[in-house]
Structure 1
Amino acid sequence: MTRRAVIAAARRTPVAPRGGGLKDLQADELAAPVFSKLLDDEGIEGGMVDHVLLGNALYAGGNPARMAALRAGLPPTVPAMTIDTQCCSGLDAIIQGARLIEAGAARCVIAGGAESYSRAPVRMHRPKAMGKEPVVYTRPAFAPPPFDDPDLSEAAARLAARLEIGREDQAVFAVHSHEKARAVKTSKKRVVCPGTDLVDDSFTRPLSIRAAMRAPVLYGDRETGLSAATIACEADGAAATLLLSEDFARERGIRGLNVFKTGSKGGDPADPALTPIELAKQLLKQTGFDVVDMNAIELHEAYAVQAMAAANVLNIPSKSLNPFGGGLARGHPIGASGAILMVQLHNHWQIQRQQGFREHYKAMGLIAAAGGLAAGIVVEA
């Protein structure tokens, strides 16, 4: 019999741009206080945790999940695994944690993601011949020949030109993301990391259309090009969820978001922004829900055009799309961004409950990744 997983608690750090308020902390140092707070929230002892799963994209080894678990005071007997599917990593960690519970292999899992752009290692290719110098590189290949493997920003610029999504439309979308984030800005669910005093996402700001349009075009042409206002900034941050089996949650009197359906999908590496669209259609068909049934849809905004393309095809209403603002308003800590989506949804559900919402709550999280990958999850309560 398949068990159900419940998101019993969800927490995150504030998100700060690269070189900002979290610049001195490694990825595991960002994740550790989040892990500790999750256990405190529900009165779970560290020894009750069956597994820790952490998404991370920039660290090239070292198992930050294990480092974070030990820093958080979990017993050394608790296993930990780091997952790298680039931008999907944090959400994929949560999906895999839910699947462990569904399979009966765990009752309690901590799953999320962490990233420090500021402290990530410098990457170098080892020389093939003795006496040659290592070659510095900024990113690995995401698809081998003969596949097209464009820079993600170049791919997004090509998508904007092909779909004729203009610079001003992108700017308007980015401004709305900041407006939503500022309207609900609260530190109630933030975890302050030791050694910092940052309590809120420091990139979120008043942004006007005029200011957004003044930002220089970084990729593409003047009509549909991408700017610093319409590309999520490189950032540091961590987020995680406490996943419990339904019976374990019931035993402890814990209510949460039920994980209803999860999915991962591959698509064209040259058009990674489009893969979540097909995944969303698949998840909706499997659940029998429609987009209009969703109380909230968290769709990661790595680029305004990427989120706009998906929202347009799926007909996502503005009021349910990223109700607390998206990645354009807070930044993109790669390995953590997918997990942040689920923290946002958990917060949204709790606020709805506090305001008297007693109907069937339904929500979805979606994210795209380099190489043509996507991850998605549908939750309900």
Structure 2
Amino acid sequence: MDAYLVGAVRSPVGRRDGVLSAVHPADLAGEIITALLARTGADPAAVDDVILGCVDTLGPQSGDIARTAWLAAGLPEHVPGVTVDRQCGSGQQAVHFAAQAVASGSADLVVAGGVQSMSQVPIGSAMGLTGPYQGSRGWAERYGDRPVSQFRSADEIAVRWGLTRDELEEYALESHRRAVAAIDGGLVTSEISGMTTDECPRRDTSRERMAALRPLREGGVTTAATSSQIADGAAALLVANERAVRRHGLTPRARIRHISARGDDPVLMLTAPIAATAYALERAGLQISDISRFEINEAFASVALAWLRETKADPATVNVNGGAIAFGHPLGATGARLLVGMVHELERCDGRFGLVTMCEGGGQANVTIIERL
């Protein structure tokens, strides 16, 4: 059976210590799930499972936040929930698991998405005192003492692809320009439930301000301006098969055409979207020119620019409303947020196929291709 996206909604993205910082993440996700069900007209009692992505599942994000969010929203107790961690791709992977469930017929109707409060649970909190690799004999034998750092990786990608700091900053500035234009033009309003203003895009930034920032690493070219912003947010999609669509009178908006995940060098870490995109297109029987819109998560400007160079995608079709450099990157929610945006953007531009991909910890990347109906 096919897997369909019936609904897609998100919260606004709040900056660290901003408007969403005091909202319990279970309440944040619960409110978005409630909005999703209201918009689609789906019966909460008919939902078979709730799958949410979340990273650093400690404190208010612990205890299986997918289950907690559903219950905190006052929804039926018989519906279970499960929380997924594929690092930055957690929200996207949640949708993949939902698609697999409904396509197999083991479930018919699944809520999938992600949530993250980086204000309440700082990035890296779950890594504790030693981190995930220190003390592992097998890791040391395979990868030696190569330091695992996303900032180092972003700089190494810039060197490998010959990207200058000027190029990174011009890309980052364009992300803010596109985000501000999308907000001012009302292009993202339909995606959002509740407060309709995303908090992170900067209207007053400039190349001069960016140039004045110090690199994140001595001798590097990556700065805070060319990196994704720490943020809070949630997003959710309703995934259904044909049986659920008929039984519950639902109206699909897109078909999930392809889902996959691939791995690459876990120390360089951030290059996997390049190979993953090629793999996904081949498996889906599509060419880069068949895709109307792309979302490549802007973890760092160097990641997006290297992906653009290798894929030869038209920059005019990539992150058309700005990316995580402008909007922020609430880790567990971003993959779902990008898919929410893609559903709405394909409808706006009358496009057929949309491709979403993102780099992830451990040198991984998810790819989702959806087809507008």
Unaligned runs of 5+ in 1: 126-134, 193-197
Q: Which residue of 1 aligns with 2:334?
A: 337
Secondary structure (helix, strand or coil) at the match of 1:226 reads coil
Equivalents in 1 of 2:319, 2:27: separation in Å? 28
DSSP 3-state at the match of 2:174: helix
CA–CA distance in structure 1, aligned partners of residues 112 and 53 of structure 2: 8
Q: 1:377 aligns with which of 358, 361, 368?
A: 368
Tell me, what secondary structure is at the counterpart of 1:366?
A: strand
Q: What is the rounded CA distance, in whole Å, between the counterparts of 2:303 and 2:116 in structure 1? A: 21
Q: Residues 138 and 234 (structure 1 numbering): CA distance in 2 closer, same or farther, change over 3 Å?
A: farther
* Poorly superposed stretches of 4+, deviation over 3 Å: 121-125, 135-144
Structure with higher helix content: 2
Alpha-carbon contact 2:6-2:250 (below 8 Å) kept: no
Find the partner of 2:41 among 40, 43, 57: 43
Q: Which residue of 2 aligns with 1:300?
A: 297
CA contact under 8 A between 2:42 and 2:250: conserved in structure 1?
A: no
What is residue 353 of structure 2 aligned with on the other side? 362
**1: CA distance between counterparts of 2:27 and 2:337?**
17
State whether residues 26 and 120 of structure 1, in contact with CA within 8 Å, keep that contact through their aligned partners in structure 2. Answer: no
- Residue by residue over 1:152-192, the C-alpha shift from the partner in whole angstroms, topping out at 9 and shown as x without a partner, is 11111122123221111000111111111111113332122
Alpha-carbon distance in 2 for matches of 1:306, 1:71: 37
CA distance in 2, matches of 1:218, 1:155: 12
Give, as a single letter, the amino acid of the residue that structure 1 aligns with 2:293: A
**8 Å CA contact retained: 1:177, 1:328:** yes
Q: CA deviation at 1:138?
A: 8.8
Of 171-180 and 210-219, deviating more is 210-219
Do the aligned partners of residues 331 and 152 (structure 1) sit closer, same or farther apart at CA in structure 2, a change above 3 Å counting? same
Code of the residue aligned with 1:88 in structure 2: it is: G
Counterpart Cα distance in 2 of 1:81 and 1:145: 32
* Partner secondary structure for residue 216 of structure 2: strand
Name the aligned partner's letter for residue 353 of structure 2.
K
* Partner SS state of residue 239, structure 1: strand
C-alpha deviation, 1:214, in angstroms: 2.0
Q: Secondary structure at the match of 1:225?
A: coil
1:268 aligns with 2:283: no
Deviation of the 1:58 alpha carbon: 1.4
Percent of aligned positions with the same letter in both sequences?
29
TM-score (norm 1): 0.89
**Unaligned ranges ≥5, structure 2:** none
SS of 2:112's equivalent? strand
Partners in 1 of 2:110 and 2:2 — Cα distance?
13
CA RMSD of aligned residues (A): 2.1
One-letter amino acid matched to 1:36: T
Counterpart amino acid of residue 368 in structure 1: C
The 3-state SS of whatever aligns with 1:184 is helix
What's 1:26 paired with?
A: 24
- Find the counterpart in structure 2 of residue 257 from structure 1: 254
State yes or no: 1:277 paired with 2:274: yes
Alignment of 1:303-314 (within 5 A): 303-314=300-311
Identify the match of residue 202 of structure 1 among 199, 203, 212: 199
2:319 to 315, 319, 322: 322
1:59 and 1:121 in contact (8 A); partners too: no
**What is the aligned length?**
357
The match for 2:226 among 226, 230, 252 is 230
Q: Which amino acid aligns with 1:267?
A: D
Displacement after TM superposition at 1:312 (Å):
1.1
Alignment of 1:95-134 (within 5 A): 95-120=96-121
One-letter amino acid matched to 2:283:
Q
In the alignment, which residue of structure 1 is the partner of 2:216?
A: 218
